[in-house]
Amino acid sequence: MKKKLVVFSGAGMSAESGIGTFRDAGGLWEQYNIEDVATPEAWKKNPDLVTDFYNQRRKQVIEAVPNSAHLLIASLEKYFVVHVVTQNIDDLHERAGSSSVLHLHGNIRLAKSSGPNQEDRYYPIEGWELTANDKCPDGFPLRPHVVWFGEQVPALNDAAKIIQEADILVVVGTSLQVYPAAGLVHLAPGNCKCYVIDPNSDEFEVPSNFIKIKANASEGMRELIQRITD
Ligand code: APR
């Protein structure tokens, strides 16, 4: 019976693919105000600005390629039942070959209706651009399928169940600043082997049982695989 390995990833996972993080020096939230581009109020106030912000990020995602950390995680499916729970809205885990990826904060390649009562209906975006003319079948403008600040995280319970059944939990590339997502690291069962991979892991607050690997995602994943296969 294969053990369950869960990866909980954040923006640092995609840094080596050239996609900037949010809170590192020069990160996205130094370039933009969250209130202007990543809240429901921002969408109501200036939908074109919000749509353009995500169009630019979608273009970058499409041009990016999975890095070796994404590929190593996908390769672990030979030895473990691997579930990826990601805060990232890029599709690099899927493009690397991971077969179980749960997006806590949405998926930039999908759109959803801005109208009421449209839960769980998503529309693939062809190419990088969503425009104001793109409407759902009910005639409401399409918006990026992204969980904005202040919105519910629909996949949270599913993510909690996955982490509660982990034999190995690998937290990689997240500053654990954003809740409720960050609270998931406390749900690993008592007998779970927990690791955190991050170049700044010595500045981290994680439960005391986490083993810290101070490295970037690719190097850290190589070291982790060494440790768990020894
Ligand atoms: N490899 C691994 N980790 C890295 C790398 C790298 N090459 N480069 C940076 N990091 C680490 C940083 O040290 C930091 O701890 O990645 C983390 C990035 O943290 P954030 O920028 O805060 O990104 P994240 O934790 O994913 O943000 C969570 O906040 O803005 C919201 O919804 C957005 O999902 C996002 C959430």
What's the gap in Å between 116 CA and the centre of ligand 1?
Answer: 32
| Same-domain pairing of 208 and 160 | yes
Q: Where are the beta strands (DSSP E) in 35-182?
A: 81-86, 101-103, 106-113, 122-124, 142-146, 168-172
3-state helix, strand, coil in the chain (%, to 5): 35, 20, 45
Residue 21 near ligand 1, beta carbon < 6 Å: yes
Contact 174, 183 (CB under 8 A): no
Give 31's pLDDT tier (boundaries 50, 70, 90): very high
pLDDT score for 147:
97
The closest residue, in CA terms, to atom 5 on ligand 1 is 12
CATH number at residue 122: 3.30.1600.10
Does residue 221 share a domain with residue 127? no
CATH number at residue 197: 3.40.50.1220
Q: What is the pLDDT of residues 75-132, one digit of tens each?
A: 999 999 999 999 999 999 999 999 999 999 999 999 999 999 888 899 999 999 999 8
Q: Are residues 78 and 137 in the same domain?
A: no
Say yes or no: 164 and 213 in one domain: yes
By most ligand atoms within 8 Å of CB, the mutation choice from 57, 108, 178 for ligand 1 is 178
Boundaries of domain holding 116: 20-63+110-146
Which residues participate in catalysis according to the annotation? 105
Query: Which domain-ending residue is among 131, 146, 161?
Result: 146
* Mean pLDDT over the full length of the chain: 96
Distance CA 165, CA 167 (A): 7
Q: What pLDDT does residue 11 have?
A: 98
Q: What is the pLDDT of residues 140-194, one digit of tens each?
A: 999 999 999 999 999 999 999 999 999 999 999 999 999 999 999 999 999 999 9
Q: Ligand 1, atom 30: nearest CA belongs to which residue?
A: 22
Q: Mark whether 137 and 124 lie in a shared domain.
A: yes
pLDDT band at 229 (very low <50, low <70, confident <90, very high): confident
Closest Cα to atom 31 of ligand 1: 178
**163/224 same-domain check:** yes
Closest-CA residue, ligand 1 atom 23, reads 11
Q: Given 119, 146, 173, which residue is the final one in a domain?
A: 146
Query: Does the CB atom of residue 10 touch ligand 1 within 6 A?
Result: yes
DSSP labels, 172-211: ES----STTGGGGGGGS-TT-EEEEE-TTGGG----TTPE
Residue 47 beta carbon below 6 angstroms from any ligand 1 atom: no
Q: Provide the pLDDT confidence category of residue 219 given band limits of 50, 70 and 90.
A: very high
Per-residue pLDDT, 118: 87
Instruction: Mark whether 83 and 165 lie in a shared domain.
Output: yes
| Res 101: pLDDT | 98
Using the mean position of ligand 1's atoms as its centre, give its distance from the Cα of residue 176 in Å. Answer: 8
Last residue of some domain: 146, 168, 203? 146
- Domains of the chain: total: 2
Query: In terms of domains, do 55 and 121 share one?
Result: yes
pLDDT confidence bin for 204, thresholds 50/70/90: confident
- pLDDT at residue 195, rounded to an integer: 98
Assess whether 119 and 176 both reside in one domain.
no
Same domain? 123 vs 207 = no
Residue 230: its pLDDT value, please? 78
Q: What is the pTM assigned to this prediction? A: 0.97
Residues 125 and 221 in one domain: no
Mutation choice for ligand 1 from 8, 24, 53, 93, CB with most ligand atoms inside 8 A: 24
Residue 226: pLDDT band with limits 50, 70, 90: very high
Are residues 81 and 163 located together in one domain of the fold? yes
**pLDDT at residue 119, rounded to an integer:** 84
Going from the Cα of 10 to the center of ligand 1, the distance in angstroms, rounded, reads 5
- Given the CA of residue 175, which atom of ligand 1 is nearest to it? 15
Kindly state the percentage of the chain with pLDDT values over 70. 100
